[in-house]
C-alpha cells in the first residue's frame, strides 16, 4: 500500500497537506459538490493536480460524516511512449478502485489537426465524451476534475482576451445534456502549493505529448502574465479569483442580466438595486453556474 503521508514527512509538509485538504473540503462544502452515497469518478491524467485531487478526496472520505465512493479513471489515449503501466500500478498499490479506458484519440487528433495548431479543443471534446460514457456505464453521478484556482483564473483571462466573454470555470456545473455533474474540488487551492505537495509526495508524473509539445499555447502566455503579476504584487491571483465570486451586475454591461433600460430615478429610490423578474434571476443563475463548454475545451 502506498502511504498517504511520507514516512519522513516534516511539520511544514504536514501543515501544507492539512491546508490543502482543508481548502478542498471547504470548496466541497461551499458548493455542495459531494453528497451522501455519491459515486465520484476522479479523472486521472497522470499530472500533479489529479494525483493531489485523488489523495485529498481519499483523506476526506476517511473523516467525512457522509458516505461516498471514489473510482479513479485514467484514459489511455495511445500517445507514443505512454507508460501504460504507471497509473494502474500506482492505483493498485494505493488500494483504490480504478479502471483504465483505452481509446486511440491521439491518432484522431493528430490526423485532423495540422501540425503546429492547437490540439486542446478536439482532444478535450473526445476525452469528455469518453468520460461521460464511462460515467454512465459505472452509474457515476459526480465527475471530479483536477482544475485548481490558477486554472480558473487563467480561463477567465483566456475568455476575455480571445472569446470576448466574462466567464471562467465554475467549481460545479451540469453538462449540456444535463446528465453529468462536474465538480472541481481544488477550486480554492493554488498551483504553487499543489506543486510543492506533489513534489514531496514524489508522484510518478506522466507528461502529455500533445499539449506539452505546443509551447505557444495561449494558456501558457496567460500563465506567464499572471506569474509576473504575482511577483509584482503577491496575492493578486487570489484577489482575481475572489472577484469571480463577488460580482456587481449593475457595474458591468450585460443587458440580458441587468435591466438597464428600465433603470430610472424613481425605482432607484425605491430600491438600491433593480428588482429582477423570475426569468432574469433564473437566467443569471444558469449563466453563472453552468457555463462550461468553452472553458472545458481550453482546459489544460
Detail the residues annotated as belonging to a binding site for [4Fe-4S] cluster.
Answer: 120, 123, 211
Residues at the binding site are 120, 123, 211
Which three three-digit cell numbers place residue 49?
493536480
How many Cβ atoms sit within 10 Å of the Cβ of residue 20?
A: 24
Tell me the C-alpha distance between 236 and 134, whole Å. Answer: 38
Q: Which residue pairs from 160-167 have beta carbons closer than 8 angstroms and sit at least 24 positions apart in sequence? A: 161/218, 161/222, 162/218, 163/294, 165/294, 166/252, 166/254, 167/291, 167/294, 167/295
List residues bridging with 43 in a β-sheet.
73
Residue 49 CB coordination number (10 Å): 22
As to burial, measured by CB atoms within 10 angstroms (0-12 exposed, 13-18 middle, 19+ buried), residue 73 is buried
Closest CA to 79 of 42, 121, 109: 109
Amino acid at each position: 500500500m502506498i502511504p498517504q503521508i511520507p514516512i519522513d514527512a516534516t511539520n511544514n509538509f504536514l501543515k501544507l497537506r492539512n491546508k490543502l485538504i482543508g481548502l478542498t473540503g471547504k470548496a466541497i462544502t461551499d458548493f455542495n459538490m459531494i453528497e451522501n452515497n455519491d459515486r465520484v469518478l476522479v479523472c486521472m491524467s497522470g499530472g500533479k493536480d489529479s494525483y493531489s485531487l485523488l489523495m485529498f478526496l481519499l483523506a476526506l472520505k476517511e473523516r467525512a460524516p457522509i458516505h461516498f465512493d471514489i473510482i479513479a479513471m485514467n484514459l489511455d489515449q495511445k500517445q507514443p511512449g505512454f507508460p501504460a503501466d504507471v497509473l494502474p500500478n500506482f492505483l493498485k498499490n494505493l488500494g483504490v478502485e480504478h479502471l483504465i479506458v483505452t481509446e486511440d484519440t491521439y491518432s484522431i487528433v493528430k490526423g485532423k489537426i495540422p501540425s503546429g495548431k492547437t490540439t486542446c479543443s478536439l482532444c478535450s471534446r473526445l476525452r469528455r465524451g469518453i468520460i461521460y460514457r464511462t460515467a454512465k456505464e459505472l452509474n457515476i453521478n459526480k465527475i471530479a476534475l483536477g482544475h485548481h484556482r490558477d486554472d480558473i483564473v487563467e480561463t477567465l483571462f483566456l475568455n476575455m482576451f480571445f472569446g470576448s466573454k466574462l466567464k471562467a470555470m465554475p467549481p460545479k456545473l451540469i453538462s449540456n445534456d444535463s446528465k453529468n455533474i462536474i465538480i472541481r474540488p481544488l477550486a480554492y487551492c493554488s498551483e504553487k502549493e499543489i506543486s510543492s505537495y506533489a513534489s514531496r509526495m514524489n508522484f510518478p508524473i506522466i507528461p502529455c505529448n500533445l499539449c506539452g509539445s505546443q509551447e505557444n499555447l495561449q494558456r501558457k502566455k496567460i500563465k506567464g502574465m499572471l506569474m509576473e503579476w504575482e511577483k509584482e504584487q503577491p496575492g493578486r491571483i487570489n484577489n482575481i479569483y475572489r472577484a469571480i465570486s463577488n460580482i456587481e451586475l449593475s457595474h458591468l454591461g450585460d443587458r440580458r442580466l441587468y435591466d438597464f433600460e428600465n433603470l430610472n430615478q424613481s425605482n432607484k429610490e425605491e430600491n438600491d438595486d433593480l428588482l429582477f423578474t423570475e426569468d432574469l434571476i433564473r437566467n443569471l443563475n444558469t449563466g453563472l453556474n453552468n457555463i462550461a463548454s468553452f472553458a472545458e475545451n481550453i482546459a489544460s
